[in-house]
Structure 1
Amino acid sequence: MKFTDGYWLIRDGVTLQRPAEVHDVEDLGDTLRVHAPVRRIESRGDTLNTPSITVTFTAPREDVIAVQIEHFAGRRESLPRFDLTSAPVTPVITRDEEQATFRSGRLEARVALHGPWQVDYRWDGTVLTSSTARSIGYAQVEGTGPFVHEQLALGVGEQIYGLGERFGAFVKNGQSVDIWNADGGTSSEQAYKNVPFYLSSRGYGVLVDDAGPVSFEVGSENVTATQFSVPGERLRYEVVGGGTPLEVIDRYTARSGRPPALPEWSFGLWLSTSFTTQYDEETVLSFVDGMAERGIPLSVFHFDCFWMRGFHWSDFRWDPATFPDPRGLIAKLHERGLKVCVWINPYIAQRSELFAEGAEAGHLLRTEDGSVWQTDLWQAGMGLVDMTSPAAREWFAGKLDALLEDGVDAFKTDFGERIPTEGVVWADGSDPLREHNFYTQQYNQVVFDLLEERRGKGEAVLFARSATAGGQRFPIHWGGDCESTYVAMAQSLRGGLSLVSSGFGYWSHDIGGFEGTPDPTLFKRWVAFGLLSSHSRLHGSSSYRVPWLFDEEAVDVMREFAELKQTLMPYLLEASATTTRTGAPVMRPMVLQFPEDPACRTLDAQYMLGEDLVVAPVLQEDGAVDVYLPAGRWVHLLDGEEVDASAGGRFLRRTYDVHSLGLFARAGSAPLALLGGAS
């Protein structure tokens, strides 16, 4: 959200007040509190009719500094709040004539006591970023209400990443980003997974600790700062130091939650019925057996929406006309060595028998007059499970538990973005504006916790679409509804790289694209990309994704890359163990692995799979791909090409047929050893 009209003026309808100077500082032992009036105090009379901004510094963990900016401190705390893990440290607070310093581990905030407002955030003495005279603002916006904003300085050449899943440019500089979950596909500024955390190339991160709408202006309103603003009277944010990007993600996920361990089977190939296609037991088994007959290893079979009857989503009952013996079918899939996943969402259609049951028990979201909130968007007359209610969560989990009794192993937790904000009342009194983004956290946690309880830790797996900060605790997440084009494949990759820069350890996407049917060549290119992602799923909207429906070469390509992923499984599992331990994503942008290499800072068409594999998917029809290899010796994993970049990184342009792509391993690394390649 922008408040100014250029550098000098304020926008019409906006009044803006900023701290003018530090008036006094309180050292409260574990807290530093700074009082800053919005004008200079030169006489006693100046203390009258003068608003003051209070800025409070605390240390929730070592190397993390939490900052709270308040105008009116008496306003009620709004729910929900992010579930952040604290390990409070005793900060070091010092003061001299010129400054007050608040130190948490190697990170410190230095507050200037004289002159204009100035706070420098330093890591081992080096300035990472600063809050300056025009940074903090308390704004009254006509017809909307109050907002609080902060601007943290951007250094020369500094680049910003993250803010959840974003399908535009990987580097966020110059962008306006609204943290607001929406079902908008992969070709707009909207996103399913919005995370108010960004990562800087200078080696720090910033989390805005607000579950509601947060507006970011990244070098846009002020081209030398990242601005973030929230509605209300207070703004909380945390500066996470410092060092390499992976060290910052380590500290951030220690605070917001680590990705858990995942079972080996989840890394294999998932096959779906697709969305609106016709399918029954005969179709399902023909697909599964067809993959086996062609030597394509399969790990999971997924039943999408129409395992239930149309107009009944969700009643969690198998369509008896299509699946008269679901337990028998699931048993047949298990006998074939497969796990079973089914699609769910948190909406209860009016025709579902669960609607009346949930309404009577108070488990569905209510309007201000006590009625059940309903809409016809998606399913006719549907209501929404009130995930703020412990009783509703238990009720919802109980319905899913019956599916686990049938033998289901995992759930695709779809939707969670279309959450109303007007005229509704949540059971726990949550602010509807803040519940909009946070709903997905409660939804996915209910399902994940049930799976952990029933299947055991290390066996719980979701396939989730929506998320917010901390959602990495409930993996896996996939990229949402993309078109079947090369452009959409690149969009999806950018979204994934942005998401994992925000603390998410795993990511997947619909191989072949969701909307439409890819041509055979595009399908084969996407197969290679998909099977070199952390998780791999074949899925579409109105057409099937089994390879023999494209051509026989697609069968060969899928077999080759599925077998390649199986061969690499020990390497992937080791990378996953690192993810669980440190938060480092299995798929990661080049800049996370090589932050010292300036060439890596803008790359968004290739990535690292673990720490030793460069993957550059073919994203254009002619098979050409540009690959950047950082300093070192590299070997193409499939054709054995050796590239000596010991003297510095190298850009290559290569053209590959559909059986290959840009895929280079560090010389002497585990992937080469697993394939019996050269050292």
Structure 2
Amino acid sequence: MRFTNGYWLDREGFTVQRGRQVHDLQVDAEQSEVRAYAPVRPVHTRGDTLNNPQLTVTYQAVADGVIRVRVQNHRGVRTPEPRFEIAADAQYRGVITEGADGAVSLAAGDLELRIARGDEWKADFVSAGRELTSSLERSIAHVIAPDGKRYMHEQLTLRPGESIYGLGERFGAFVKNGQSVDIWNEDGGTTSEQAYKNVPLYLSSRGYGVFVEDTGGVSFEVGSEMTTRVQFSVEGQSLTYLLIDGPTPKDVLRRYTGLTGRPPLVPEWSYGLWLSTSFTTDYDEATVMSFIDGMEQRGIPLSVFHFDCFWMRGFTWSDFIWDPATFPDPEGMIRRLHERGLKVCVWINPYIAQKSYLFDEGMELGYLVRTTSGDVWQTDLWQAGMALVDFTNPEAVRWYRGKLEALLDMGVDCFKTDFGERIPVRDISWHDGADPEKMHNYYTHLFNRTVFDLLVQRRGEGDAVLFARSATAGGQQYPVHWGGDNDSSLPSMGETLRGGLSLALSGFGYWSHDIGGFEGNPDPLVFKRWLAFGLLSSHSRLHGSSSYRVPWAFDDEAVAVARRFTLLKQQLVPYLQDMARQAHEHGTPLLRPMVLEFPEDRTCHAIDTQYMLGDSLLVAPVFDPQGEVEFYLPEGRWTSVFDGTVETGGRWLRQRHGVMTLPLYVRDGEDLGLDIAAIDG
């Protein structure tokens, strides 16, 4: 959100009260805390202390390399729930040093805050003597909007050449400089500025990160309102953020996920190929078995079969009852799928249609979200008379889990947890009194946690997995996430990758997407190019909207591509499991933007058309219809997986590829156990 009209003027009707100076400092060594007072007008005489609002900024060392900053106007205004669960060590103590000149330093490991009393507002963050960023004049402010709403903002400096990344799953430009980004979950597809997974965390190429501790709408102006600063603002009278030290992007993610939760290990079978019924296509058990037979006959290994929405009857989503007209013997069918060596996934969401028997049950028990007038909140968008399960109610959580347990008893292995973005905020009353605006993004966190925790309880640690669409900060604890509704086109393949790269720099360890694109019927060439890309992601799913995604629906060559890359991925599973352990132990994602793996190489800072899969495998998807692809190899020796040629890095290469190959290089002679001859043989 922007509050200014150029540099000199504020927006018409807005009152912007900026902290103008460091008037006073208080030190609490026991709490590892420094408190700064910043009046909105300079204080030179006693009279200047009258009728002069004053902002309070509290700095606290909460972990090694992490300093919490809280900017407040009226401190008596409570911070509403829910809040992110931050696993900070309450016993951690930083080091406070007071200088003879009145300057104060607060150190959390190598990360250090430096601030001094003076005529201007200035707070510097440095690491091991290296300047990271600063809060300067005009940076901190309390804003009164024309409608009376209150906002708080902070601005942190950007240096020339500094790039900003992350902020959740964003499908636009990978480098966020110049963008306005609102942290607000929406079901907007992959072609817009909206996102399913919004995370108020950004990483800087200078080796630090900033995480805003607010579950609601956070507005970022990344070098956009003021070109030399990143501004972030929230509604209310308090703004809290964490300044997270590196020095590398991996270090930032390690510290961040140490506070918000790390990705768990997922079962080995989840890395195999998932095949879906697709969304609105016609299918029954005979259709399902024909797909499975077809894949087996063509030598394409399957791991999971997924039943999308219409495993239930229309107008009843979700009631968790198999459509008897289509699947008269679901338990027998699941048993037959298991006998074929397959796992079974079914689609669910947290919405309850009015026709569902669960609607009356949930309404009577008080388990559905209500309005402030006491009515059940309902809409006709998606399903007629649809209501929401209130996951702030522990009894509602147990009720919902109980319905899913019946499916697990049948033999269902995992769930696709769809939706969770369009959560209302007007006139809503949550069971636990949560603030509706703060619940909008956080709802999906409660939904996915409810389902994932059930799977852990029933299946055990390391054998639980979801296929989730929406998320917020901390959602990396409930994998896997896929990239939402994309188009069946090569440009959409590119925007899908950009979404994955941004999500990876937001703490998410695993990632997938709809191979071939969700909307439309992909051209065979698009499908083949996407097969290679999709099967070189951590998780791989064939899924569409109104058309099937079995390879023979396209042509024989698509079958050959699917077979080759599925077999290649089978060989990669041990390597992916090793990379998953890095995600689980350190927060390093499997899909790695080039800047994450090579932060010292400036060329890698803006690359968004290729990636590292783990630490040793470079992948450059082909987005050009003619097969032209330009990609960058960092310093070192790189060996082509497909023909064994060795290239020296530190340069760009241009190649032309047919659909059976793409630039796929192993770093510095690493042995990943890949044998293309065995695949082709």
Q: Which runs of structure 2 are paired with 1:120-139 in the superposition (5 Å)?
A: 120-139=124-143
1:264 aligns with 2:264: no
**Which whole-Å CA distance do the structure 1 matches of 2:240 and 2:617 have between them?**
38
Equivalent in 561, 578, 584 of residue 582 of structure 2: 578
Shift in Å, 1:569: 1.3
**Which whole-Å CA distance do the structure 1 matches of 2:503 and 2:651 have between them?**
27
Which residue is equivalent to 1:342?
346
Equivalent in 433, 445, 452 of residue 441 of structure 1: 445
Which residue is equivalent to 2:98?
95
SS at match of 1:595: coil
Query: Residues 542 and 294 of structure 1: is their aligned pair in 2 closer, same or farther, counting only changes over 3 Å?
Result: same
RMSD over equivalenced CA pairs, Å? 1.0
SS at match of 1:42: coil
Shift in Å, 1:115: 2.5
Q: For residue 477 of structure 1, what is the amino acid of its counterpart? A: H
SS at match of 1:441: helix
Q: Do the aligned partners of 1:567 and 1:675 also contact (CA within 8 Å) in 2?
A: no
Q: For residue 530 of structure 1, what is the amino acid of its counterpart? A: G
Equivalent in 621, 626, 638 of residue 617 of structure 1: 621
**Which whole-Å CA distance do the structure 2 matches of 1:670 and 1:360 have between them?**
60
SS at match of 2:253: helix
Which residue is equivalent to 2:83?
81
Q: How many equivalent residue pairs?
A: 674
**Which whole-Å CA distance do the structure 1 matches of 2:521 and 2:613 have between them?**
27
TM-score (norm 2): 0.98
**Which whole-Å CA distance do the structure 2 matches of 1:263 and 1:666 have between them?**
27
**Which whole-Å CA distance do the structure 2 matches of 1:458 and 1:143 have between them?**
50
1:418 aligns with 2:419: no
Q: Which runs of structure 2 are paired with 1:495-506 in the superposition (5 Å)?
A: 495-506=499-510
Shift in Å, 1:112: 2.3
SS at match of 2:374: coil
The more displaced of 589-598 and 144-153 is: 144-153
Shift in Å, 1:674: 5.9
**Which whole-Å CA distance do the structure 2 matches of 1:69 and 1:77 have between them?**
12
- Same amino acid, percent of matched pairs: 61
Long gaps (5+) in structure 2: none
Which residue is equivalent to 1:64?
66
Which residue is equivalent to 1:661?
662
**Which whole-Å CA distance do the structure 2 matches of 1:634 and 1:43 have between them?**
68
Q: Do the aligned partners of 2:20 and 2:138 also contact (CA within 8 Å) in 1?
A: no
Shift in Å, 1:144: 4.8
The more displaced of 337-346 and 87-96 is: 87-96
Which residue is equivalent to 1:40?
42
SS at match of 1:251: helix
**Which whole-Å CA distance do the structure 1 matches of 2:674 and 2:442 have between them?**
44
1:321 aligns with 2:325: yes
Q: Do the aligned partners of 2:62 and 2:93 also contact (CA within 8 Å) in 1?
A: no
Q: Do the aligned partners of 1:511 and 1:526 also contact (CA within 8 Å) in 2?
A: yes
Equivalent in 405, 429, 445 of residue 401 of structure 1: 405
SS at match of 2:672: helix
**Which whole-Å CA distance do the structure 1 matches of 2:13 and 2:677 have between them?**
68
Deviations 1:172-207 (A, max 9, x none): 000000000000000000000000000000000000
**Which whole-Å CA distance do the structure 1 matches of 2:420 and 2:331 have between them?**
28
1:520 aligns with 2:537: no
**Which whole-Å CA distance do the structure 2 matches of 1:667 and 1:297 have between them?**
30
**Which whole-Å CA distance do the structure 2 matches of 1:166 and 1:520 have between them?**
27
Q: Do the aligned partners of 1:131 and 1:151 also contact (CA within 8 Å) in 2?
A: yes
Q: Do the aligned partners of 1:568 and 1:674 also contact (CA within 8 Å) in 2?
A: no
Q: Do the aligned partners of 2:279 and 2:309 also contact (CA within 8 Å) in 1?
A: yes
Shift in Å, 1:19: 1.2
Long gaps (5+) in structure 1: none
**Which whole-Å CA distance do the structure 2 matches of 1:341 and 1:537 have between them?**
12
Which residue is equivalent to 2:636?
632
Q: Do the aligned partners of 1:571 and 1:670 also contact (CA within 8 Å) in 2?
A: no
Q: For residue 68 of structure 1, what is the amino acid of its counterpart? A: R
Shift in Å, 1:98: 4.3
Deviations 1:357-377 (A, max 9, x none): 000000000011101000000
**Which whole-Å CA distance do the structure 2 matches of 1:98 and 1:288 have between them?**
73
**Which whole-Å CA distance do the structure 1 matches of 2:661 and 2:195 have between them?**
31
SS at match of 1:600: helix
Q: For residue 654 of structure 2, what is the amino acid of its counterpart? A: R
Which residue is equivalent to 2:248?
244
Which residue is equivalent to 1:195?
199
**Which whole-Å CA distance do the structure 1 matches of 2:205 and 2:676 have between them?**
34
TM-score (norm 1): 0.98
**Which whole-Å CA distance do the structure 1 matches of 2:79 and 2:186 have between them?**
25
Shift in Å, 1:130: 0.3
Q: Do the aligned partners of 1:193 and 1:468 also contact (CA within 8 Å) in 2?
A: yes
Which residue is equivalent to 2:335?
331
Shift in Å, 1:409: 0.5
Deviations 1:190-227 (A, max 9, x none): 00000000000000000000000000000000100000
Which residue is equivalent to 1:179?
183
Which residue is equivalent to 2:149?
145
Q: For residue 71 of structure 2, what is the amino acid of its counterpart? A: I
Shift in Å, 1:605: 0.5
**Which whole-Å CA distance do the structure 2 matches of 1:625 and 1:85 have between them?**
44
The more displaced of 111-120 and 201-210 is: 111-120
Which residue is equivalent to 2:492?
488
**Which whole-Å CA distance do the structure 1 matches of 2:341 and 2:119 have between them?**
70
Deviations 1:25-78 (A, max 9, x none): 111122111111111222222211111100001122111000000000111220
The more displaced of 410-419 and 76-85 is: 76-85
**Which whole-Å CA distance do the structure 2 matches of 1:345 and 1:672 have between them?**
39
**Which whole-Å CA distance do the structure 1 matches of 2:40 and 2:153 have between them?**
14
Q: Do the aligned partners of 1:665 and 1:672 also contact (CA within 8 Å) in 2?
A: no
Q: Do the aligned partners of 1:330 and 1:340 also contact (CA within 8 Å) in 2?
A: yes
Deviations 1:346-398 (A, max 9, x none): 00000000000000000000011101000000000011000111111111111
Q: Do the aligned partners of 2:222 and 2:229 also contact (CA within 8 Å) in 1?
A: yes
Q: Which runs of structure 2 are paired with 1:453-472 in the superposition (5 Å)?
A: 453-472=457-476
Equivalent in 117, 124, 132 of residue 121 of structure 2: 117
1:228 aligns with 2:229: no
**Which whole-Å CA distance do the structure 2 matches of 1:144 and 1:660 have between them?**
59
Q: For residue 65 of structure 2, what is the amino acid of its counterpart? A: D
Which residue is equivalent to 1:19?
19
Q: For residue 11 of structure 1, what is the amino acid of its counterpart? A: R
SS at match of 1:158: coil
Shift in Å, 1:673: 5.9
Shift in Å, 1:672: 5.9
**Which whole-Å CA distance do the structure 2 matches of 1:574 and 1:273 have between them?**
31
SS at match of 1:55: strand
Shift in Å, 1:338: 0.7
Q: For residue 625 of structure 2, what is the amino acid of its counterpart? A: E
Which residue is equivalent to 1:561?
565
Shift in Å, 1:676: 8.5
SS at match of 1:568: helix
Q: Do the aligned partners of 1:158 and 1:202 also contact (CA within 8 Å) in 2?
A: yes
Shift in Å, 1:620: 1.5
Deviations 1:305-350 (A, max 9, x none): 0000000000000000000000100001101111100000000000
**Which whole-Å CA distance do the structure 2 matches of 1:41 and 1:667 have between them?**
61
Q: For residue 483 of structure 1, what is the amino acid of its counterpart? A: D
Query: Residues 328 and 673 of structure 1: is their aligned pair in 2 closer, same or farther, counting only changes over 3 Å?
Result: closer
